[in-house]
Amino acid sequence: MSAAFSFALTATDGAARSGVISTPRGEIRTPAFMPVGTAATVKAMMPESVRATGADILLGNTYHLMLRPTAERIARLGGLHRFMNWERPILTDSGGFQVMSLAELRKLTEEGVTFRSHIDGSRHRLTPERSMEIQKLLGSDIVMCFDECPALPADDKRVAESMRLSMRWAARSKEAFGDRPGHALFGIQQGGVTQELRAESAEALRAIGFDGYAIGGLAVGEGQEAMFGVLDYAPGMLPEDKPRYLMGVGKPDDIVGAVARGVDMMDCVLPSRSGRTGQAFTRRGTVNIKNARHANDPRPLDEDCTCPACRNYSRAYLHHVFRAQEIISSMLLTWHNLHYFQEIMGGMRAAIAEGRFAAWQAAFHAGRAEGDI
Ligand SMILES: C=CCOC(=O)Nc1nc2cc3[nH]c(NC)nc3cc2c(=O)[nH]1
């Protein structure tokens, strides 16, 4: 355990990097995948199970927790780590993205965003200062700047205006965050898919100075080709010695492509959410367990997987409990998916450390069918 927050790059292979983020609550091996624990729980998973999948850090959502049970109540109860029984690192988002995608009656001004709760219609306000206060009350180890992610499609003028607002909010976030040893503040690059705007944003963030840098405004419907197009240059615009975090990504091949382009951290609801809808990710492609063809299949989801679902249950069983809407269905498929996503991360960390990432990436793609298996 280190008293401070620090990042050590241990190996590079092409644009791909591996390293370790040290925090007072434990180390984060990079490249890292962060399971999403929206309402103080990774849905259908006990925290010890999340750890068993290999996760070093999980993500909490400011928007959801400020509405219910409120950040003040969590602080009174000892903070989010104690509240949800996860003593390792937690990253919280700033609420910016989710307010714009989930809240009702939103009003965006230079000051911030006022909105009504999607739960009970109560009125709330998020500003850079309030977002920093909430994330401090939660006690998260990695705090995100309050930003605005423009909805697509957006023309260059709108993207530029939104990015410049986010940069002013980044400065206010840094000011409000203050000096908190052992805690990190990450800036968020915006600028859509326009290289000049991405460069302007990166320069603005460098001038303010952050403990890590996120690449925002992606995985919002632009498609993998456009996202990779931005990732071909955006990570390199950010300080080489700080973690680079890509939000909301993604499918296994998105994750591999992002790491190949220099991304160190990612988060996505896909493995947990799709686990609940019966979609399992495997080395050979995806399995939709509700499909009738699995009803009599005695084999596991993936013969090569060591997770509890694959070690102890057949596709026939998983098909049955999914069809019967049994709670264990969500538990087993979520555990499997999170385990598999962590397997991918572990495989990439080792491959980068041993200078064989290109071969690992080729083998990863060779084994996968496009459609369902
Ligand atoms: C999430 C942690 C920290 O992020 C923030 O506090 N703000 C923020 N979140 C995003 C989340 C995204 N999810 C996707 N696709 C599923 N794209 C996203 C883009 C952003 C973004 O530009 N900003």
pLDDT, tens digit only, all 373 positions of the chain: 678 999 999 999 999 999 999 999 999 999 999 999 999 999 999 999 999 999 999 999 999 999 999 999 999 999 999 999 999 999 999 999 999 888 889 999 999 999 999 999 999 999 999 999 999 999 999 999 999 999 878 999 999 999 999 999 999 999 999 999 999 999 999 999 999 999 999 999 999 999 999 999 999 999 999 999 999 999 999 999 999 999 999 999 999 999 999 999 999 999 999 999 999 999 999 999 999 999 999 999 999 999 999 999 999 999 999 999 999 999 999 999 999 999 999 999 999 999 999 999 999 999 788 888 8
Give 296 Cα–ligand 1 centroid separation in angstroms: 41
Q: Which contiguous run of DSSP H or E holds residue 320?
A: helix 315-323
Strand spans (E) along the chain? 6-13, 16-23, 26-30, 32-34, 58-60, 90-92, 104-108, 113-116, 123-126, 142-144, 184-189, 212-215, 244-246, 265-267, 279-282, 285-288
- For residue 163 and ligand 1, the question of a CB distance below 6 A is answered with no
DSSP 222: S
Strands 212-215, 244-246: pairing is parallel
CA of 97 to the centre of ligand 1 (A): 5
CA of 111 to the centre of ligand 1 (A): 20
* Distance (Å) from CA 145 to ligand 1 centroid: 11
What is the structure's pLDDT at 103? Answer: 86
Burial class (CB in 10 A: 0-12, 13-18, 19+), 293: exposed
- Which residue's alpha carbon is at the smallest distance from atom 4 of ligand 1? 93
**How far is the centre of ligand 1, averaged over its atoms, from the C-alpha of 218 (Å)?**
8
Q: ipTM greater than 0.85, yes or no?
A: yes
Q: Give the pLDDT confidence score for residue 210 in this predicted structure.
A: 98
Q: Does the CB atom of residue 248 touch ligand 1 within 6 A?
A: yes
**Active-site choice (13, 93, 264, 302):** 93
In this prediction, residue 370 carries a pLDDT of: 81
Looking up tokens 């590079």 gives 12
The angle subtended at Cα 224 by Cα 278 and Cα 144, nearest 5°, is 85
Q: Is the CB of 38 under 6 A from ligand 1?
A: no
Task: Report the pLDDT value the prediction gives residue 369, as an integer from 0 to 100.
Answer: 86
- How high is the pLDDT of residue 3? 83
pTM, entire model: 0.98
Per the annotation, the verdict on 56 as an active-site residue is no
Task: Indicate if ligand 1 lies below 6 Å from the C-beta of 219.
Answer: yes
**In angstroms, how far is the first alpha carbon of the chain from the final one?**
43
Does a cis peptide bond (omega within 30 degrees of 0) precede residue 69?
yes
Q: Which atom of ligand 1 is nearest to the CA of 190?
A: 22
Angle, in degrees to the nearest 10, between helices 156-177 and 195-208: 10
> For position 164, what pLDDT does the model report?
98
Catalytic residue among 13, 147, 267, 302: 267
pLDDT value, residue 1: 62
Give yes or no for residue 97 CB within 6 A of ligand 1. Answer: yes
Answer yes or no: 267 catalytic: yes
**pLDDT value at residue 372:** 86
Mutate to test the pocket of ligand 1, among 247, 266, 270 (most ligand atoms within 8 A of CB): 247
CA distances from 339 to 85, 124, 235, 256, 258 (A): 20, 37, 27, 16, 19
